[in-house]
C-alpha cells in the first residue's frame, strides 16, 4: 500500500512508486494499491504516466479529490475507474461525533461538564451542513472561548476539572460562523478580502460591498467563486426577508456565464448591490466608482473584518467585529470600509422603482453608522465631559476596534491577565444596541422639535452627524447649519454632503476652541452664520455640572436678543473688531430643543437582585440612592428639575418631558468586580454603608443572577423645549 499527495509529488515520485509496485508483482505476484490524495492537482502528463500500469494490473489506483473528476481528471483515467461520491454525514452522525468529543477525556472535553442552552448544540449540528470538521472546529471555539481563561495544561488546569461550561445560543451562532475555509488561493489576501466582502453584505453596507468586490476583481479572483459565495449569502443572510434574492443572484450568475468578462462585471455588481440593499435598478454603476477608487487607493483591510478562523489568537484578526444578526433588525453600526475611506460614499439609491422604498432607509442607516463611529472614534476630542463618563460607564472595550498584532509568541502564563481581554472582547459583541438607541433618541428629538419644511435649523455639537442629515431631509425648502468641535468632523460631513445637491448641503462651521458656555459660545454663533435667523436650535448634553445650566440659560436668552457692546472697537476689518455687536441667532418665534442625559437618575444595580434576595436588595437600593444624592461628583449634582428651573428663571418658557432609553447588555464578572472594588468611589460608598460582608454578598449575587443573561440597562434623559417669553 503506497500513499502519495499530488500537491507534494512529481513524476519522479510516480516512477518510484510504479517501480516498487512492479517489483512486488514480479517477485511476489502481489498487486499494489496506490492511494493519491488530491489527484486532480496532477497535470495531464503525470496522470497519463499511470495509465499503462493501471491497465496491466500492476497497481490498483484509488484517487481522492474534492473537485468534479469528470472535469479535473483525464477522461482516459476516469473511464477506467469506478467513481464513488461521498455524501455528507447525517445529523445523527454529527451528533455522535459531538458527543464523543464532549465525553472523551483524552482527546475531548470529558474533564468538564459542558452544558448547552436548548437548541444550541442542534444549531451547531444543523449549520455544519454534514461537515464533521466544521462541527468540531465550531465546538472547540464555543467551548474554549466561553471561559474567561482557557489553560487546560496549567497546574491546576483553568477552568478546573469538573466545572461547568455553559454554551448559549448566541455563543453557538458566533462559533459556527467562524468555520475554517477548506481551500486556499492567495493566502491571507484571499481570506481577508472575501471575509470583508461577506460581512459587508451581511451588514447591509452597499458602499463597503462595492469596495471589497472591486478589490477582488482587481486581484483576479475567480468570478464563479464570488457568485458561489453570494448564492450562499442570498439564503444565509437575506433569506425570506427577500425571497427574490436567490433568484436574482442565480440569474446574474447565468448571465455572466453567457457574456463573460469584461462586461460580466455588471452582473457581479448588480448581485452584490441587490444583496446589500435589494434594489431592482441599474445602479450597478456604483461598482465602477469603487473600482476607480481601487485604482488610486490600496487600503488595508480593517483588523476587525479580517478572517478570525485561522490566526485570531496570534494576530488578533477579527477582534471587535459586531455580528449583525445579534442585534435588533439584524443590523449594527460599525466600520466596514478601511480607515482611510471611512465616510466614503459609493452607492446612492435612486428614487425609482424598488429603490424608492429603501432610499430613506439606506441613508438613515448610513447616518446612524457614521454617528456611532464618530461618537466612539473621536471620544478623546470631545469637550463635554459627560461623553467620556457615559462611554466608560456603559460601553467597555469589547466593542472597540483593535489594531492588528504584527508578531506572535507562545502563551506566557504571566501575561494571562492581558490576554484575557481577547475573550472578553468576543463576549462583548452582543452587549449593546448602541445604534438602535441613537436612532430612538434622534426620533424623539425630532418629534419634539416639530421641524417644518421651510425651517432654518442649527445643530450644535454636530460631530456625530446624528441629527444633521435628518434635519436636511426635513427642511426641503429651508436650510440646515451645523457647528462642529473639530475640523475632522467638518470634513466628514462635507464629504458625505457631496452626494447632495448644492441647495441641500448643510453649512458647517467649526467652533473656536476658546469658546465655551461661560463666555457665550452659543450666542456668538450668529457671527459664524451671518444674516441667518434660525427657527430651531438643537442641543444635546450641554450640562456637565450645575453652573452649566445657568450659563446655558443665559446663552439661549442672548441668542434671542443679541448683545450690544458699548465698548466696541472701530475697525474697517470686521475680523479684527473683537468687541463688535453680536446680532440675534434665533428668530423671535424660534424654539430651542435640549436633550440632556441625567446621570443622577441612572441605572441602579439593586434592581437586578430583587428576585434573589428582596431584603438585601432593599438595603442595597437605599445605599445606592444615598451615593447618588451625597456624591461630590458634579455629574450627580443636578437633575431634570434643576435644569428646568435654571431655564425658567432666565425668562424662558420651558416645556419638559422625561424618558429612558432601554438597552440590552451583559454584565461581566470583571465589570461587577471593578464597580465594587475599594478603588471605586461607588464601591467604597457601598462598603461604608453596608459593610464588607454584605457588599461581598451583593457582588456574588449580582454575578450569579446576571450570568449568561442579557439585562435591560436604562438611560434616563430629559427633553426641554425653550421659547422666548412674551
Tens-place pLDDT, residues 229-272:
999 888 888 776 777 888 999 999 999 988 888 888 999 999 99
Confidence category of residue 633, pLDDT binned at 50, 70, 90? confident
Residue 185 has pLDDT above 60, yes or no: no
Q: What is the pLDDT of residue 353?
A: 54
From 722, 598, 593, 592, select the one nearest 660 (Cα to Cα).
Answer: 598
Question: Does 169 share its domain with 210?
Answer: no
Q: Are residues 219 and 284 in the same domain?
A: yes
Residue 304 within any structural domain of the chain: yes
Residue 383 — pLDDT band, cuts 50, 70, 90? very low
Band the pLDDT of 638: cuts 50, 70, 90: confident
pLDDT, average across residues 279-297: 59
418 found inside a domain:
no
Q: Which pLDDT score, from 0 to 100, does residue 172 have?
A: 82
User: Strand order of the sheet with strand 32-37?
Assistant: 2-5, 32-37, 59-64
Measured at the CA of 33, the angle between CA 30 and CA 35, to 5 degrees, comes to: 165
| pLDDT value at residue 481 | 93
Where b means 16+ CB within 10 Å and e means fewer, 521-530 reads bbbbbbebbe
Say yes or no: 118 and 214 in one domain.
no
Res 251: pLDDT: 93
**355 compared with 513, residue with greater pLDDT:** 513
pLDDT for the residue 406: 35
List the domain range (segments joined by +) for residue 233: 188-404+425-430
Least confident span in 46-50, 143-147, 285-289, 599-603: 285-289
Same domain (yes/no): 249, 171? no
- Domain end position, chosen among 430, 464, 490: 430
- pLDDT of 403: 44
Q: 256: part of which helix (H) or strand (E)?
A: helix 245-259
Which of 49, 79, 109 is a domain's end point? 79
Q: Tell whether 208 and 305 lie within a shared domain.
A: yes
Residues 297, 210: one domain? yes
Q: Looking at residue 285, what is its pLDDT?
A: 53
- Residue-wise pLDDT tens digits, 386-404: 333 333 433 333 334 444 4
**Is 717 within a domain?**
no
- Confidence (pLDDT) at 395: 33
Whole-number pLDDT of residue 244: 87
Pair type for strands 456-459 and 59-64 = unpaired
Average pLDDT, the chain: 78
Indicate the length of the chain as a whole number: 726
Look up the CATH number of the domain holding residue 24: 3.40.50.300
Q: Who has greater pLDDT, 530 or 200?
A: 200
Examine residue 470 and state whether it is found in any structural domain, yes or no.
no
Considering the domain architecture, whether residues 311 and 379 belong to the same structural domain is answered as yes
Residue 200 has pLDDT above 50, yes or no: yes
Can you give the pLDDT at residue 317?
Answer: 67
**Domain total for the chain?**
3
For residue 122, being part of any structural domain is answered with: yes
**Residue at 109 is within a domain:** yes
The pLDDT of residue 252 is: 93
Q: Check pLDDT > 60 for residue 426.
A: no
Interval 193-209 mean pLDDT = 89
CATH of the domain at 108: 1.10.8.60
Q: How confident is the model at residue 180 (pLDDT cuts 50, 70, 90)?
A: very low
User: pLDDT value at position 284?
Assistant: 42
Query: Residue 665: what pLDDT?
Result: 77
The confidence score (pLDDT) of residue 322 equals 76
pLDDT band of 573, cuts 50, 70, 90: very low
CA atoms within 13 A on the CB side of 681: 8
74 with 97, same domain?
no
643 is a domain residue: no
What does the pLDDT read at residue 46? Answer: 80
Average pLDDT over residues 573-600: 78
Phi-psi region of 700 (alpha: psi -120 to 50; beta: other; left: phi over 0): alpha
d(CA 454, CA 678): 56
Angle at CA of residue 565, ends 575 and 551, nearest 5°: 95
- 314 lies in the same domain as 263: yes
pLDDT of residue 376: 52
In a shared domain, residues 395 and 267: yes
Domain end call among 79, 102, 127: 79
Tell me: do 56 and 167 sit in the same domain: no
The whole-angstrom separation of Cα 543 and Cα 717 is 12
- One domain for residues 351 and 238: yes
169-179 confidence digits (pLDDT tens) = 888 877 775 33
Q: Is residue 399 part of a domain?
A: yes
CATH number assigned to the domain comprising residue 340: 1.20.272.10
Task: Specify the range with the lowest mean pLDDT, choosing from 88-97, 173-182, 458-467.
Answer: 173-182
Question: Average pLDDT in the 541-559 region?
Answer: 90
Amino acid at each position: 500500500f503506497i500513499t502519495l499527495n499530488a500537491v507534494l509529488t512529481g513524476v519522479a515520485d510516480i516512477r518510484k512508486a510504479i517501480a516498487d509496485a512492479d517489483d512486488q508483482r514480479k517477485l511476489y505476484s502481489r498487486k499494489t494499491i496506490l492511494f493519491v490524495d488530491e489527484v486532480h492537482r496532477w497535470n495531464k502528463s503525470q496522470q497519463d504516466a499511470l495509465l499503462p500500469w493501471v491497465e496491466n494490473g500492476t497497481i490498483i489506483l484509488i484517487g481522492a479529490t474534492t473537485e468534479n473528476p469528470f472535469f479535473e481528471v483525464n477522461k482516459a483515467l476516469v473511464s477506467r475507474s469506478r467513481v464513488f461520491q461521498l455524501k455528507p454525514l447525517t445529523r445523527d452522525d454529527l451528533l455522535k461525533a459531538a458527543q464523543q468529543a464532549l465525553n472523551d477525556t483524552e482527546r475531548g472535553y470529558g474533564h468538564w461538564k459542558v452544558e448547552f442552552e436548548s437548541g444550541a448544540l442542534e444549531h451547531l449540528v444543523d449549520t455544519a451542513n454534514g461537515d464533521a470538521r466544521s462541527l468540531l472546529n465550531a465546538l472547540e471555539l464555543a467551548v474554549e472561548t466561553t471561559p474567561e481563561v482557557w489553560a487546560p495544561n496549567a497546574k491546576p488546569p483553568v477552568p478546573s476539572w469538573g466545572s461547568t461550561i455553559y454554551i448559549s445560543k448566541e455563543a453557538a451562532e458566533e462559533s459556527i460562523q467562524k468555520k475554517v475555509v477548506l481551500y486556499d488561493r492567495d493566502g491571507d489576501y484571499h481570506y481577508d478580502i472575501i471575509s470583508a466582502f461577506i460581512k459587508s453584505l451581511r451588514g447591509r453596507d452597499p458602499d463597503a460591498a462595492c469596495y471589497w468586490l472591486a478589490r477582488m476583481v482587481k486581484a483576479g479572483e475567480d468570478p464563479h467563486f464570488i457568485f458561489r459565495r453570494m448564492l450562499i449569502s442570498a439564503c444565509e443572510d437575506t433569506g425570506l426577508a427577500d425571497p427574490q434574492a436567490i433568484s436574482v443572484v442565480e440569474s446574474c450568475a447565468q448571465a455572466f456565464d453567457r457574456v463573460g468578462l469584461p462586461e460580466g462585471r455588471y452582473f457581479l455588481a448588480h448581485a452584490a448591490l441587490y444583496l446589500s440593499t435589494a434594489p431592482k435598478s441599474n445602479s450597478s454603476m456604483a461598482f465602477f466608482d469603487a473600482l476607480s477608487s481601487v485604482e488610486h487607493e490600496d487600503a488595508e483591510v480593517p483588523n476587525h473584518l479580517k478572517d478570525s478562523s485561522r490566526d485570531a489568537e496570534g494576530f488578533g484578526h477579527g477582534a471587535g467585529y459586531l455580528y449583525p444578526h445579534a442585534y435588533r433588525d439584524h443590523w449594527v453600526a460599525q466600520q466596514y470600509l478601511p480607515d482611510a475611506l471611512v465616510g466614503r460614499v459609493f452607492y446612492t439609491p435612486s428614487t425609482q422603482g424598488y429603490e424608492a422604498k429603501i432610499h430613506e432607509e439606506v441613508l438613515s442607516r448610513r447616518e446612524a453608522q457614521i454617528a456611532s463611529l464618530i461618537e466612539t472614534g473621536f471620544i478623546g476630542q470631545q469637550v463635554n465631559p459627560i461623553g467620556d463618563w457615559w462611554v466608560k460607564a456603559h460601553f467597555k472595550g469589547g466593542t472597540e476596534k483593535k489594531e492588528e498584532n504584527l508578531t506572535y509568541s507562545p502563551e506566557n502564563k504571566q501575561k494571562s491577565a492581558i490576554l484575557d481581554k481577547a475573550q472578553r472582547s468576543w463576549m462583548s459583541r452582543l452587549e449593546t444596541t448602541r445604534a438602535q438607541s441613537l436612532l430612538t433618541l434622534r426620533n424623539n428629538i425630532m418629534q419634539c422639535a416639530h421641524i417644518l419644511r421651510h425651517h432654518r435649523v442649527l445643530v450644535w455639537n454636530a460631530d456625530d452627524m446624528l441629527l444633521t442629515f435628518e434635519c436636511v431631509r426635513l427642511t426641503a425648502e429651508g436650510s440646515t447649519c451645523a457647528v462642529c468641535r473639530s475640523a475632522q468632523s467638518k470634513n466628514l460631513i462635507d464629504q458625505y454632503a457631496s452626494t447632495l445637491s448644492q441647495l441641500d448641503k448643510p453649512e458647517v462651521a467649526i467652533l473656536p476652541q476658546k469658546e465655551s458656555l461661560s463666555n457665550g459660545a452659543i450666542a456668538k454663533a450668529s457671527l459664524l452664520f451671518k444674516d441667518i435667523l434660525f427657527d430651531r436650535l438643537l442641543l444635546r448634553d450641554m450640562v456637565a455640572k450645575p453652573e452649566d445650566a445657568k450659563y446655558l440659560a443665559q446663552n439661549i436668552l442672548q441668542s434671542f436678543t443679541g448683545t450690544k457692546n458699548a465698548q466696541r472697537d472701530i475697525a474697517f476689518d470686521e475680523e479684527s473688531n473683537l468687541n463688535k455687536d453680536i446680532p440675534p441667532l434665533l428668530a423671535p418665534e424660534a424654539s430651542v430643543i435640549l436633550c440632556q442625559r441625567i446621570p443622577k437618575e441612572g441605572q441602579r444595580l439593586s434592581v437586578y437582585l430583587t428576585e434573589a434576595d428582596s431584603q438585601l436588595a432593599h438595603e442595597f437600593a437605599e445605599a445606592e440612592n444615598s451615593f447618588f444624592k451625597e456624591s461630590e461628583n458634579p455629574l450627580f449634582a443636578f437633575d431634570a428639575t434643576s435644569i428646568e428651573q435654571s431655564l425658567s428663571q432666565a425668562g424662558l418658557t420651558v416645556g419638559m418631558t422625561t424618558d429612558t432609553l432601554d438597552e440590552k447588555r451583559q454584565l461581566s464578572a470583571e465589570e461587577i468586580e471593578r464597580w465594587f472594588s475599594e478603588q471605586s468611589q461607588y464601591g467604597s460608598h457601598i462598603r461604608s454603608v453596608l459593610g464588607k460582608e454584605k457588599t461581598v454578598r451583593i457582588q456574588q449575587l449580582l454575578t450569579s443572577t446576571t450570568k449568561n443573561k442579557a439585562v435591560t440597562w436604562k438611560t434616563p434623559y430629559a427633553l426641554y423645549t425653550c421659547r422666548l417669553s412674551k
